[in-house]
Chains A and B, each alone.
Chain A
Amino acid sequence: MSTIVSLPDQSTARLPKVSYLNKEYGLKSWLLTGDHKRIAVLYMISITFFFFIGGAMAALIRLQLLTPYSDLLAEDTYNKVFTAHGLIMVFFFLVPSVPATIGNFLIPIMVGAKDLAFPKINLLSWYLYVAAGIMMLCVLTFGGVDTGWTFTTPLSTHYLNTNVVTAGLAVFVAGFSSIFTGLNFIVTIHRMRAPGMTWFRLPLFVWSHYAASILMVLGTPVLAITLVLVVLERTIGIGVFDPTKGGDPLLFQHLFWFYSHPAVYIMILPGMGVISEVISTFSRKRVFGYTAVAFSSVAIAVFGFFVWAHHMFIMGISNYSALVFSLLTMLVAVPSAIKIFNWAATLYKGSITFETPMLYAFGFLGLFTIGGLTGVFLGSLGMDIHLTETYFIVAHFHFVMVGGMLMAYLAGVHFWWPKITGRMYPEGVSRLAAVTTFIGFVLTFFPQFVLGYLGMPRRYAAYPPEFQVLNVFSSAGATVLGIGYLLPLLYLTWSLKYGKIAGPNPWQATGLEWQIQSPPLTENFEKTPIVTHEAYDYEWLANKTKNEVTTVG
C-alpha cells in the first residue's frame, strides 16, 4: 500500500543525543518539571490509567446487561459502577485527553514558543488532576458513589448514603486542573506566538484548543460552585435545592447543565483540531476553507453556552423557554456540519494515503456525523420527549464522544507518537486495531439507538426480556471494542523500545513541530522561528525539503 512515511535509514539512524526525554534524569526531574512536554507525558500516563479503570466499569456494565435480570451485580452495585464509569470517563479521561496530553505537548511548539506561558501552573494543573484522581480512587475503594455522573438533586443531597461529598470534591479539584490548562493555552496563544505567526497562520489544532479553552475557563467555575452548593446542602443542610425549605431542585439542573453542556464541546473541539491536522497531512493538502473551520470552532464555543436547557426539555421548563433552547440547539449544530463538509472537501484532489491516523480520522468522520445528527433528533422538542432518558441518549453521546472524540484522540496519539517518542508505532497491527475499534464500536452502540426508540430507559440494572437480543449484540460489540483499545496499549509500549527511528518529519507534514527533531529539545527550538508561510503550505515544505539535507542526531 502506498504511504507517505519517510523514515531515515534504520541501519544508521539513532535517536537524537539530547532531547527533552534525556536532558535530565531522575524522578524529581519529572515530578518537578516545568517542561510542557514532560507534563504532557505525565498526563498521558495518568489518563491512560483512568481510561482503563473506566473501561473496566464499562465491561461490568455490558456484562450485567447481557441478561435482563440483576443476576451479575446487585442493583446498588450496578448503580455505583455506571456512576464510576461516567465520572471517570468524563472528568478523568475525555476532558483532559487531547488538551492535556497532545495540546500541552504541541501548543507551544505550534505557535513557535519555548513553553507555555505559565509552566508552574501547568505542573500544578497535573498535580490537581492527580489529587482529584486519588480522591476518586478513594471513593471507589470506600464504597463507591451512586448518584450518576450528573449528581441530580435531591437524590444526591438527601437520599443517598454513599461517598457523594468526596466524589463531588474530586470533580471540583479536577475542574480547577481543567481551568488552569485552559488559562495557560489562551495566554500562550495570545501572547507567545513567534514573529510572523499571525492568527490566520496558526494550525487549526491551535484554533480548536483556543475555543475549547474559552469554554474551560468560563464554564468550569459554574460547575465548581454548583458542587460546593451540593456538598453544603448535603453536609450542613442549606436548602437552596430543597422544595420543603423553599429551594428549587430545578435550579441545580440549570447550574449543572450550564457547565456540562459546554463540557461536551470542551471534549470534542480539541479532537476536531486533531482531525484537521491528520486529514491535511494524509491528503497532502491544506484544509479546505481554513477560515470557515477556524470560525466554526469559535462559533461552537460561543453558541455552546446558550443551549444548556436542552437537557431539561421534559423537566417542566416553560414551553416558550424550551422553544428558545431548541432553536439555539439547531444553530449550534450548523458549525459542526460545516466542519465535516470542509474536511470531506479537503480530500478532493488530494493525494490520499491510509496510514493509521487517517483510518481513525475516517472513522471519526462517519461516527461523529451519526452522533451529531442524532443530536439534532434530540434537539427537536417533540422527538426529545420520546427519546430522552433512554438508550438513544446513551448511543448519541457515545457516538460523539467515543466514535468521535476517542477516535480523534487515538488518531492524534498515533500521528504525534513519532514526535513525542522519536519512534514509529508498528503500522500493520495499528491499522488492525483501528478497524477493530470501528467495527466493535458500531456493533456496541448502534443497537442502542434501536433500544432507545423502543423505550429502554438508561441506568437500568435490569430490563424487560424483549430487549435482551439487542443488548447481547451490544455486549458482543463491547468485547471487540475492548480488544481494539487494548492493542494500542500493547504495541505503543512495545514501540518505545523496538519501534523504528522516526526522524524529525516521518509524515512530511507542515507545521512547526515537524521542523524540529523527534523527540524535541527541552526548549523546542534552537532559535526562535520566524514564520513566513501559511498553515498547511505544502509548496513551502516541498521547497524546504529540496534545499535541505536531512540528518538525525
Chain B
Amino acid sequence: MQHFISPVLWQFLVKWLTHFAIFPPEASTIAPYADALYFFLIVISVIGLGAVAFLVAFFSIRYRQSRNPVATQIEGSTLLEATWTIIPLILFMITFVWGALLYFRIYSPPPNAMNIYVVGKQWMWKIEHPGGQHEINALHIPIDQPIQLTLISQDVFHSFSVPAFRVKREVIPGRYNTVWFEATRPGVYHLFCTQYCGTLHSQMIGWVYAMKPEDYQAWAAGSTSGHSLAQNGERLFASLGCNSCHNSTPNAHGPNLANVYGSHVQLANGQVTTVDDAFLRDTILNPTLHEVAGYAPIMPTYQGQVSEDGLIDLVEYIKRLDSNYRIDQTIDNSAGQPVQTGATPGGTSAPPLAPGAVKP
C-alpha cells in the first residue's frame, strides 16, 4: 500500500486510525453517567438540527420560485408557536434536571472519601497525600476508592481537570474548592490545567496514575517523605506557638482543638457553624471573622506567615487531633524556652507570636 500512496499520507492515515477516539476513556464511576447525558444531548441536538435542516431544505426546494411563483402570506399560528415553545422547553428541562443531578453528585463528596490536597501554582501542581507522599504534576490514586481533592491556588486561578474521570474544578486563591471521583480502571490519564494562568499554562499538565489498591499501597510506602502531613502540622503548631493558647490547661486562652474537626461550634455572633477545612484555614488567617463564643478575641492572624502548604499541614493535623496529650507536653517543655513568649497559665493578652517560624 505504501508504494501506491505517499508515505507521508500513509503515516497520517495510520496515526489517524490508531488515535481515532472521540471520547476520552471512561475511567471513573461518574464517567458513564456524564457520557450518557452527552449522548442524550447529542441525540436531541441531531433531532433538532435535523428538523430544522429538513424543514429548510424541503421548503426551499418545494417552494422555490420556479415551482411556486406566488407566495401565500401567512400571519402565524399560535398552535405552532406553542408547540415549538413547549417541546424545546420540555427537552431543556429534562436536560436541566439530569445535569443538576450529575453536578450535585460530582460536587458532593461521600463521607468516606480519602482526601488528597492539591496546591496549584504557576506552573505546576503540588499534590500532597496525607501520608506524606508529595508529588509534582502527578497523582497516584487507588481505584475503587472515593478520592476527594481539596484544591487551592497559591497565586492565580487554575483549574484541575481530568477528562478521563469527567471532573474539573477551579483552583482559586483564598479558599478551598473540592471535587471527588472514584476511579474504576487502572491506567494513566491526562491531568490538565484548564484555566489560563500565564506563560506556561500549557505546560501545567501531568498524569493521574490509577492503580490497583495493592499497587497503590506499594507506591505509597515507597514514596513517603517519612513525615505525614499531620506530623508536619504538629511541628508547625508548636513552632508557631499555637500550643500556648490551644491546650487543655484550665485557663487556656483558646478553644480545645482535640476532636474539634467536624463538630459544631458557636461563634461569638451567635451563629453555629461546622468546623471543616475551610473554617480551620480561614480562622488561622482571619481569626476575627470566626471568633468562638466564650473566648477573648486575641488570636493573632498568621496571614503572610504560613504558606498554603503550611496551612494544609496544620489543617491535616487538627483534623486528626483527638487528644491534647502531646500538646500539653510541648507546653511544659516550652515554659523554659525564651522563644515562646507570654505562654504562662493564667495568661497575658500579648499574642504569642514566634519570630523565625519556619515555613515548610
Task: Verify if B190 is at the interface (C-beta below 8 Å from A).
Answer: yes
**Cα–Cα, bound, A384→B286 (Å):** 33
CA distance in complex: A82, B20 (Å): 28
Nearest chain A residue, comparing its CB with the CB of B178: A316
B196 and A380 form a contact (CB under 8 A): no
B56 to chain A, nearest CB (A): 5
The CA of A327 and the CA of B93, in the complex, are separated in Å by 8
Q: State in angstroms the CA–CA spacing of A488 and B186 once bound together.
A: 54
Binds B, one of A38-46, A132-140, A171-179, A455-463: A455-463
Interface string of A121-155 (1 = CB under 8 A from B): 00000000000000000000000001010001011
Assess the B100–A455 pair: CB atoms within 8 A: no
Q: Which of A146, A333, A351 gathers most chain B CB within 10 Å?
A: A351
Chain A residues near B99 (CB-CB < 8 A): 326, 379-384
Determine how close the nearest CB of chain B comes to the CB of A546; give it in whole angstroms: 15
Task: Identify B175's interface contact among A4, A243, A370, CB under 8 A.
Answer: A243
Chain A positions 447-466 with a Cβ under 8 Å from a chain B Cβ = 450, 453-455, 457-464, 466
Please state if A334 and B55 are interface contacts (CB–CB under 8 Å): no
B103 at the interface (CB under 8 A from A): yes
Question: Bound state CA distance, A331 and B69, in angstroms?
Answer: 39
Q: Which residue of B lies closest to A82 (CB)?
A: B196
B293 within 8 A of A: no
Q: Roughly how many angstroms separate A2 CA and B64 CA in the complex, as a whole number?
A: 9
Interface residues on A, range: 35 or more
- Are A454 and B22 closer than 8 Å at their CB atoms? yes
- B219 interface contact, C-beta 8 A: no
**Contacts across chains A and B counted by CB atoms under 8 Å:** 301
Cβ B198 vs Cβ A159 within 8 A? yes
CB < 8 Å neighbour of A152 from B21, B76, B167, B195:
B195
Within 8 A of A (CB), among B161-196: 161, 163-164, 166-170, 172-175, 177, 190, 192-196
**How distant is A151 from chain B, measured CB to nearest CB, in Å?**
11
Which of B82-90, B141-149, B256-264, B309-317 is found at the contact surface with chain A? B82-90
Interface residues of A in 262-306 (CB under 8 A from B): 283-286, 288-292
Contact residues, B85-132 vs A (CB, 8 A)? 85, 88-89, 92-93, 95-96, 98-108, 122
Query: Which of A152, A347, A351 touches B69 (beta carbons < 8 Å)?
Result: A351
B22: shortest Cβ distance to chain A, in Å?
5
8 Å CB interface, B1-35 against A = 12, 15-16, 19, 21-24, 33-34
B95–A376 contact, CB under 8 A? yes
Which of A96-104, A184-192, A335-343, A414-422 binds B?
A335-343
Q: Within the complex, which residue of A327, A345, A352 is in contact with B80, where a contact is CB–CB below 8 Å?
A: A345
Is the Cβ of A155 less than 8 Å from the Cβ of B71?
A: no
B333 CB–A CB distance under 8 Å: no
B103–A351 CB distance below 8 A? no
Within 8 A of B (CB), among A169-214: none
Q: How far is the CA of A370 from the CA of B42 in the complex (A)?
A: 10
**A337 and B84 contact, CB distance less than 8 A:** yes
Residues in chain A near residue B101, CB distance under 8 A? 382
The answer to the question of B267 belonging to the interface, with a C-beta cut-off of 8 Å to chain A, is no
Cross-chain contact A338 with B76 (CB below 8 angstroms): no
Main secondary structure of the interface of B (DSSP, over half): mixed
List A contacts of B64 (CB < 8 A): 2, 351-354
Tell me how far the C-beta of B113 lies from the nearest C-beta in chain A, rounded to whole angstroms: 17
B275, CB-defined interface residue at 8 Å? no
B339 on the interface (CB 8 Å rule)?
A: no
Task: Report the contact-size class of chain B (Cβ under 8 Å from the partner).
Answer: 35 or more
> Is the beta-carbon distance between A289 and B76 smaller than 8 angstroms?
yes
Q: Which residues of B contact A313 (CB under 8 A)?
A: 103
Interface residues of B in 216-274 (CB under 8 A from A): none
Q: Do A330 and B201 touch (CB < 8 A)?
A: no
**Which of A159, A160, A382 interacts with B100 by CB under 8 Å?**
A382
Bound complex: CA of A390 vs CA of B23, how far in Å?
Answer: 14
* B76/A292 in contact, CB under 8 A: yes
State whether A285 and B73 are in contact (beta carbons under 8 Å apart), knowing that A314-B169, A385-B106 are contacts in the complex. yes
Bound state CA distance, A206 and B122, in angstroms? 49
| Residues of A contacting B168 in the complex (Cβ-Cβ under 8 angstroms) | 314, 385-386, 388-389
Q: Which residues of B contact A2 (CB under 8 A)?
A: 64-66
The chain B residue sitting closest to A317, CB to CB, is B170
On whether the beta carbons of B37 and A152 are closer than 8 Å, the reply is: no
* Contact status A457-B96, CB under 8 Å: no
Give the CA-CA distance A331 to B74 in the complex, in Å. Answer: 28
* Alpha-carbon separation in the docked complex, A246 to B192 (Å): 29
Q: Are B59 and A454 in contact (CB under 8 A)?
A: no
Any A CB within 8 A of the CB of B52? yes
Shortest Cβ gap from B282 to chain A (Å): 10
Give chain B interface residues in 37-63, CB to chain A under 8 Å: 37-38, 41, 44-45, 48-49, 52-53, 55-56, 59-60, 63
Instruction: Check A283–B63 contact: CB distance below 8 A.
Output: yes
Query: Which one of B63, B74, B190 contacts A352 once the chains associate, using CB atoms below 8 Å?
Result: B63
Q: For the complex, what is the distance from the CA of A386 to the CA of B81, rounded to whole Å? A: 34
CB–CB A249/B37 < 8 A: no
Q: Is the interface of A mostly helix, strand, loop or mixed?
A: helix
Contact of A316 among B19, B93, B108, B175 (CB under 8 A): B175
B103 touches A382 (CB 8 A): yes
B156 within 8 A of A: yes
Q: A347-B59, A454-B163 are in contact. Are A148 and B106 (CB under 8 A)?
A: no
Q: For residue B68, which residues in chain A have a CB less than 8 angstroms away from its CB?
A: 349-352
A105 at the interface (CB under 8 A from B): no
Q: A154-B156, A155-B198, A382-B98 given as contacts; is B71 within 8 A of A349 (CB)? A: yes
Complex partner residue of B37 from A338, A370, A382, CB under 8 angstroms: A382
Say yes or no for B159: interface residue by CB 8 A criterion. yes
Chain A nearest CB, measured from B26 CB (Å): 11
| Measured CA separation A154–B195 after assembly (Å) | 12
Instruction: Verify B24–A341 contact, CB threshold 8 A.
Output: no
**Taking A154-B156, A314-B169, A385-B106 as contacts, is the C-beta distance between A348 and B59 under 8 angstroms?**
yes
Mark A346-386 against chain B: 1 for CB-CB distance below 8 A, else 0: 01111111100000001001100110011011011111111
B194's contact among A146, A334, A389, A469, by CB below 8 Å, is which? A389
Which of B75, B92, B100, B155 lies at the interface centre, i.e. has the most chain A CB atoms within 10 A of its CB? B92
A502 at interface (Cβ–Cβ under 8 A)? no
Set of chain B residues within 8 Å of A288, measured between Cβ atoms: 74-77
Distance in angstroms between the alpha carbons of A348 and B61 in the assembled complex: 10
Q: Across the interface, which residues of A come within 8 angstroms of B161, CB to CB?
A: 389-390, 455, 457
CB-CB under 8 A from B337, the residues of chain A are none
Find chain B residues with CB under 8 A from A322 CB: 103
B41→A366 contact, CB < 8 A: no
B196–A352 CB distance below 8 A: no
- Give the one of A342, A390, A454, A457 with max B CB within 10 A: A457
Is there contact, CB below 8 Å, between B37 and A383? yes
Contacts of A466 in B (CB 8 A): 19
Residue of A whose beta carbon sits closest to that of B60: A352
B203 beta carbon closer than 8 Å to chain A: yes
B209 interfacial by beta-carbon distance below 8 Å = no
Residues of B within 8 Å of A464, CB to CB, are 190, 205
A514 interface contact, C-beta 8 A: no
Cα of A461 to Cα of B201 in the assembled complex, Å: 8
9 residue pairs, one from A and one from B, having the closest CB atoms:
A382-B102, A455-B163, A243-B174, A380-B99, A381-B103, A347-B59, A389-B194, A289-B76, A460-B202
Could you list 17 A-B pairs, sorted by A, with CB under 8 Å?
A: A75-B199, A154-B156, A155-B196, A243-B175, A244-B174, A283-B71, A284-B71, A288-B75, A316-B177, A338-B84, A344-B52, A370-B49, A376-B92, A454-B24, A454-B163, A458-B196, A469-B12
Given contacts A382-B101, A389-B194, A453-B24, 10 further A-B contacts (CB under 8 A): A148-B196, A155-B156, A314-B169, A330-B95, A345-B80, A350-B63, A450-B22, A457-B192, A460-B201, A539-B73
